[in-house]
């Protein structure tokens, strides 16, 4: 008798009737944290404001007003074109109702209506509707004023004309957040005002109005000089001395992107300014565009110093040396930006990193050579940071062993003595390891090739796992004993698993992750373990090369260039060994263009139970049951 012949209890049955289908806005109400920030309703206001700002960026709106009412509702009004009121040819409902009640419905998935937009997920304003007790819309367009209302995401009044012979155009949305979805029902006004002011700065000429009815506070912002004026004002408010003076400013406008940035360095321990935006959306967690800025500045300064031979012997500049005292505002606009999550706090578009890095490197190099005195002053400060870092690292004596085993022979170690900037790549296979050694940044990236699949250590005692030579070498290389809670000897701030993107590679990555979760738990808990995500496809479009980590990203790139007259060639990588060192560096190891996923442990035991079920020999029956019932979900899991 096999397992499928066993009679099961009613509670264990898994039938089609058990599958729940969430329709309309139900997914948002069920899991609001997947769509918005739930600490307070600020992100709802920003979604509505962003829609109005998209009208301004496209040249259709000149003024946006935000009113915080005494009943904790907010009204956002603009003088743009007004939301569409005609009937959608396929959905058979008005455009405004479609936008407010359907996820992934909007005009921002193509460049026909909006060239640059932050609302590319198409769920922003519908999320506001789903999480509001009431939402009221007034639309002015086609010489008419329209009204439509919603409650808890459902339409409660039809779209109707309430006035005619109207000369103005625009949209006004008033919404009442449902406090049950938020930790605090009140808007945090200082961050909200800061975000509103930033819109005026980043969109020169746009007038942003703010009114708080509770306190009668009324402010208007309108700037013609943009981020330069804003940056200088911020420095003045902080009372911070900065160099160079005037600050470095750069701006580029191309067909597919725009970049504008202002940069200055301040002295140690002074307040810092670091703000980044994508299509006027704030990205407080940075992303690929900020990584590109940092890399470009480093390369320009290195080139300036090398030409003048001013770097002392034994010192090598790192990105942290340049970044330590750097202040910046970066505004980047691009087509179809990809964000890490609906809250859009981090940009993940791979192309942004290389674009910004290249532009900044060229423009900042030109500036340094045109202003050699300012360049020498900046270089001296950065070299001083590198000297302090080196002196601090020497105190750690990361590589000076007084006792214990020598480092593994196959470990290609880095030269940096600072654990905070050092990275170790655990690479699948000798072939890929050889490419990685050539692709790495020797100063702070170490490479350790692993031969095949390591031992499944899930059920092995920590005291016994070092009987495996591969695992013993890993333990010696990272400087941590298996099972130990003391990771003070950890030699690398980032330990990166680098395996093929196929099923075998994922199996190897799983075994390494299991090793660290089970036997180097503190390393994982402290956020030192990462998974490198190599691309699965290379796409050549004429002379331009693009990389895609999966089929969906490949399809997105092909869709973007579907009208291109250039020859398109697609290569699917079978493994890391197929990549030459420059390709491996650009796609997987260069901080400004790579994608790393940090592996963390949740507070509950659900992950450990899943790992136990997948890896324990004694749970083969549970594994077979799981595969028979949920095997088709493994990719999603």
Find the radius of gyration of the CA atoms of the chain.
28
Rounded-to-integer distance, Cα 9 and Cα 132, Å:
42
Beta-sheet strand order (sheet of 568-572): 544-548, 537-541, 568-572
Active site residue 420: no
Catalytic pick from 158, 459, 502, 544? 502
Return the ∠ at Cα 276 (arms to 275 and 279), rounded to 5°. Answer: 140
Active site residue 418: no
Rounded-to-integer distance, Cα 529 and Cα 440, Å:
18
Catalytic pick from 504, 522, 540, 622? 504
The continuous run of DSSP H or E covering 293 comes out as helix 288-308
Buried b (16+ CB within 10 A) or exposed e, 11-40: eeeeeeeeeeeeeebebbbeebeebbbbeb
Strands 74-78 and 170-177: antiparallel
Q: How far is CA 5 from CA 1, 2, 90, 96, 625, in A?
A: 6, 6, 48, 54, 12
Active site residue 428: yes
The continuous run of DSSP H or E covering 572 comes out as strand 568-572
Strands 274-278 and 326-334: parallel
Active site residue 473: no
The partner residues of 619 in beta bridges, in order of sequence, read: none
Catalytic pick from 428, 470, 473, 553? 428
Rounded-to-integer distance, Cα 584 and Cα 576, Å:
8
Question: Quick count: other Cβ atoms within 10 Å of Cβ 312?
Answer: 9
Instruction: Determine contact, residues 439/585, Cβ cutoff 8 Å.
Output: yes
Give the catalytic positions in this structure: 428, 500, 502, 504
């Amino acid at each position: 008798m096999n397992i499928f012949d066993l009679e099961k209890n009613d509670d264990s049955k898994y039938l089609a009737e058990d599958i729940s289908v969430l329709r309309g806005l139900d997914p948002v109400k069920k899991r609001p944290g997947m769509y918005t920030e739930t600490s307070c309703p600020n992100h709802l206001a920003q979604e509505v404001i962003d829609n109005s700002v998209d009208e301004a960026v496209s040249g259709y709106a000149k003024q946006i007003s935000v009113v915080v009412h005494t009943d904790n509702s907010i009204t956002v009004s603009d003088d743009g074109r007004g939301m569409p009121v005609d009937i959608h040819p396929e959905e058979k409902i008005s455009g405004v109702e479609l936008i407010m009640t359907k996820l992934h419905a909007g005009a921002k998935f193509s460049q026909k209506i909006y060239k640059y937009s932050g609302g590319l997920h198409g769920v922003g304003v519908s999320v506001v509707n789903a999480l509001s007790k009431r939402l009221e819309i007034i639309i002015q367009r086609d010489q008419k004023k329209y009204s439509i209302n919603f409650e808890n995401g459902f339409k409660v009044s039809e779209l109707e004309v309430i006035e005619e012979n109207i000369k103005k155009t625009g949209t006004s949305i008033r919404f009442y957040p449902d406090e049950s979805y938020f930790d605090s029902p009140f808007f945090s006004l200082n961050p909200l005002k800061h975000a509103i002011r930033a819109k005026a700065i980043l969109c020169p000429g746009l007038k942003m109005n703010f009114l708080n009815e509770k306190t009668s506070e009324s402010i208007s912002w309108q700037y013609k000089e943009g981020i330069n004026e804003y940056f200088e004002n911020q420095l003045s408010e902080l009372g911070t001395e900065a160099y160079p003076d005037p600050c470095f400013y750069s701006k580029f406008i191309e067909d597919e992107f725009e970049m504008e940035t202002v940069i200055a360095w301040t002295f140690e321990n002074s307040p810092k300014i670091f703000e980044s935006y994508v299509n006027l959306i704030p990205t407080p967690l940075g992303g690929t565009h900020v990584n590109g800025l940092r890399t470009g500045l480093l390369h320009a300064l290195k080139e300036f110093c090398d030409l003048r031979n001013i770097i002392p012997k034994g010192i090598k500049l790192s990105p942290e040396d340049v970044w330590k005292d750097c202040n910046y505002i970066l505004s980047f606009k691009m087509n179809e930006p990809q964000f890490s999550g609906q809250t859009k706090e981090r940009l993940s578009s791979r192309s942004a990193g290389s674009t910004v890095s290249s532009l900044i490197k060229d423009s900042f190099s030109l500036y340094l050579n045109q202003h050699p005195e300012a360049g020498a002053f900046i270089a001296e400060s950065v070299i001083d940071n590198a000297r302090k870092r080196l002196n601090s690292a020497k105190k750690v004596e990361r590589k000076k062993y007084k006792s214990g085993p020598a480092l593994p022979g196959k470990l290609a170690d880095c030269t940096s003595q600072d654990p905070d900037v050092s990275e170790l790549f655990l690479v699948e296979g000798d072939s890929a390891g050889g490419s990685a050694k050539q692709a790495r940044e020797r100063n702070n990236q170490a490479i350790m090739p692993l031969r095949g699949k390591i031992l499944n250590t899930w059920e092995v005692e920590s005291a016994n796992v070092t009987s495996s030579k591969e695992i013993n070498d890993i333990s010696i290389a990272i400087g941590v004993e298996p099972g130990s809670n003391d990771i003070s000897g950890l030699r690398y701030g980032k330990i990166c698993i680098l395996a093929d993107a196929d099923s075998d590679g994922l199996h190897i990555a799983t075994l390494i992750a299991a090793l660290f979760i089970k036997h180097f738990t503190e390393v994982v808990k402290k956020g030192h373990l990462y998974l490198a995500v190599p691309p699965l496809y290379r796409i050549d479009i004429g002379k331009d090369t693009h990389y895609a980590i999966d089929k969906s990203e490949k399809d997105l790139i092909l869709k973007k260039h579907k009208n291109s007259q250039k020859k398109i060639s697609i290569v699917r990588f079978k493994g890391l060994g197929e990549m030459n060192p420059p390709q491996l560096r650009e796609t997987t190891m260069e901080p400004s263009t790579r994608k790393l996923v940090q592996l963390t442990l949740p507070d509950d035991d659900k992950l450990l139970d899943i790992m136990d079920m997948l890896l324990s020999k004694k749970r083969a029956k549970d594994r077979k049951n799981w595969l028979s019932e949920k095997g088709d979900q493994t990719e999603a899991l």
